[in-house]
Structure 1
Amino acid sequence: MSRRGRGKGRGEVFAGDAHAPSYGPLHSRARVGKRVRARSRGRGTASVLLCACSPLSLFQSFPGGLSHSGALASRAGACLLVWGATVLLHCGAANHSGKDTNCSEIILIQEIVKDGFHRDLLIRVKLGTNIENSRTCNVLIKYHLPTGLYVDPYELASLQEHNVTEAMIIQDTVDLEAPDYMSEESDIFVYAKSDSQCSECFRTILPIHCRYHQPEEKEERAFVVVKNPELFVNCYNDFPSLNCWKQSDMEAPCSVRNKHICQWSNVKYKAVNQNVILQVPVGLRVHHLFVCVITLLVTVLCSGLILRAVFRHGHFSL
């Protein structure tokens, strides 16, 4: 008995048998086996095993057909295990793809407006496309300001009165005149409002002010870094984006006007601008004597002019 075109791979069809009446059908089987091998190369191990577990390959692998029932049953059991593992892999891939589809990114954009020591920090938040009704959500942004920046509480009160900005300084007192090296870091709660131009967007403006720095030897400017804030969301409904990006919970006031405590969800987000950097002008130490002399002369001159005007135009009664 001789064999021709013996198969080289697993699950391949034998090319011929000495007891076969003709070679035509066997040659066609060999071509079928080649096609199976060619297709299985790009499908991975699971596809090759499934091809090997087909009914035709099971019977052709055992010349005795059903007489080798024990070997056939063992191979059928192995094929059943392979089929089950493949189904589980496909189900897991489908669930993973579905999760990525439902989880849209939350985007936060920061932008500095104005120049000099008095700036405005424009903040915009986009909750995602899967939130059908974002009007039922509230957005809270927590900033940790460095020593080189401060927020004026009197200015915040005025802006809140005109319904421009809602922000809350966590510290009890803020020294507005302290320089950078004598001040402390501060935390700010900023409540964003719904954007009329975008259904799932929120925006707010936070006025920030730069503090004076110590004179330097060579550098004429200092850099103040505003790190990315923490983003909190409070919604009446449960949305897929919140479930995907939620990290922890925090209790904080519901708003500036409403002092009741609400449960806020700390969520992950994608920052378009990483860490806002401000440049602050700094004096040079070599100009110390010159600045002191000029300041003293200007002070004496202005004081003399004021006294002259008082004695000339003032009315004194004994």
Structure 2
Amino acid sequence: MAGGPRWWRRRGEGLLGAGLAALLCALHVQAACRDTTVMQELLKEGFHRDLLVRAELGVGEDAGRCAVAARTRLPPGIYVDPYELMSLQQQNLTKAVLTPDVIDVEAPEYLATDLLVLLYMKPDPRCSRCFRATLPVHGRYHRPAEESEEVLVVLKSPEVLICCCDSRLLAECWKPAEVEAPCSGKTGGPCQWYSITHKPVYEETTLQVPVGFRQHSSLVCVVTLLATVLCSSLILAAVCRYGHLSLAAASE
């Protein structure tokens, strides 16, 4: 019976030591896993804009050797021109992967689908833990509205991904992400991307797209028809009046 209290005391000391170790470990992980700050904004005006994404990483590892990307889903009201993107990638101005890669740039908003974009980010020389990227986006035509002269297209905050193929990963901070894309600058196969917990400066960004009034549809159709008939008549009259001159010149 004399050893009973001593055994309980040793057990209590062991539990206290384990609790302190777990607390120190949690504090260490919390210090290393600081929140990443993400901000996105639309530059320029009108239908043709630039989507700017900036991220300040809060992880403790050296992120300069890692590939950082922003994964965002564009709604049907916004699209990326794949030919324009190809030209920019050839000039090494931007790099992105589109899903799907075949995009109908002429489709209106109500016939289009969402677009998943993986946008590779470049280090910001003004900040050691900052990355940024710019992507040209374009607004689609929408159906005429009843009362408003514009509609709002909402862009959600992007997901920040990191791929450190040559450095140690902090598994406590990052969650594995399913991304079938290689790290930027890597020639081998796809490597493991991780999703970083981040804190967006703004939860969403909006694009204002001008639209017409639905009650003006009949007027627009009539004016368009009259303009088409007038232009066709002028072209036909010019052909009838000067067509013989062109034939004579061609015979000579």
Structure 1 length normalisation: TM-score? Answer: 0.67
**Displacement of 1:107 after TM fit?**
2.4
Distance 1:249 1:213, change over 3 A: closer
In the other structure, the counterpart of 1:206 is 135
Contact kept? 1:144, 1:229, Cα under 8 Å: yes
Shift of the 295–229 alpha-carbon distance from structure 1 to 2, 3 Å rule, reads same
2:192 corresponding residue in structure 1: 264
Greater helix content: 1
Q: How far 1:309 moved relative to its partner?
A: 7.0
**Does 1:80 find its partner at 2:10?**
yes
8 Å Cα contact 2:73/2:156 also seen in 1: yes
Tell whether the 8 Å contact from 1:221 to 1:280 is kept in structure 2 after alignment. yes
Shift of 1:300: 4.1
Runs of at least 4 residues of structure 1 off by over 6 A? 307-310
The answer on 1:231 being equivalent to 2:160 is yes
| C-alpha distance in structure 2 between counterparts of 1:169 and 1:313, whole Å | 50
Q: Secondary structure at the match of 2:88?
A: helix
Cα displacement string for residues 249-283 of structure 1 (whole angstroms, at most 9, x for unaligned residues): 5331344x877432132313222221222222222
Structure 2 unaligned blocks of 5 or more: none
Contact 2:46-2:209 at 8 Å conserved across structures: yes
Whole-Å Cα distance in 1 between the matches of residues 157 and 101 of structure 2?
Answer: 23
* Superposition RMSD in Å: 2.8
Contact 1:230 1:266 in 2 (8 A): no
Letter in 1 for 2:195: V
Residues 232 and 264, structure 1, Cα contact 8 Å, conserved in 2:
no
- 1:113 positional shift: 1.0
CA distance in 2, matches of 1:280, 1:180: 11
1:270 alignment partner AA: K
Q: SS at the partner of 2:70?
A: strand
Pick aligned residue for 1:93 from 13, 20, 23: 23
2: CA distance, partners of 1:88 / 1:166: 48
Gaps of 5+ in 1: 1-69
2:120 to 179, 191, 197: 191
Amino acid at match of 2:57: L
Give the share of equivalent positions with the same residue, in percent: 39
Q: Map of 1:1-318 to 2, 5 A cutoff?
A: 70=1, 73-128=3-58, 130-132=60-62, 134-235=63-164, 236-240=166-170, 243-255=172-184, 260-268=188-196, 269-303=198-232, 316-318=246-248
CA–CA distance in structure 2, aligned partners of residues 258 and 295 of structure 1? 53
Q: Distance in 2 between matches of 1:270 and 1:91?
A: 29
State how far apart, in whole Å, the 2-side matches of 1:97 and 1:221 are: 49
Bigger Rg, structure 1 or 2 = 1
Instruction: Measure, in 1, the Cα distance between the counterparts of 2:243 and 2:125.
Output: 57
> 1:144 aligns to what SS in structure 2?
strand
Q: Which residue of 2 aligns with 1:41?
A: none
Contact 2:48 2:137 in 1 (8 A): yes
Residue 313 of structure 1, CA deviation: 11
Bigger RCO of structures 1 and 2 (CA < 8 A, at least 6 apart):
2
- 1:103 is displaced (CA, Å) by 1.8
Give the direction of change, closer, same or farther, for the CA distance of 1:130–1:315 in structure 2 (3 Å limit): farther
Relative to 1, partners in 2 of residues 1:266 and 1:74: Cα closer, same or farther, differing over 3 Å? closer
3-state SS of paired residue (2:29): helix
CA distance in 2, matches of 1:78, 1:208: 68
Is the Cα–Cα contact under 8 Å of residues 142 and 231 in structure 1 kept in the other structure? yes
For 1:261, what is the secondary structure of its paired residue? Answer: coil
Q: With structure 2 as the length reference, what TM-score do the two structures score?
A: 0.83
Distance 1:313 1:244 in 2: 76
How far did 1:208 drift? Answer: 1.0
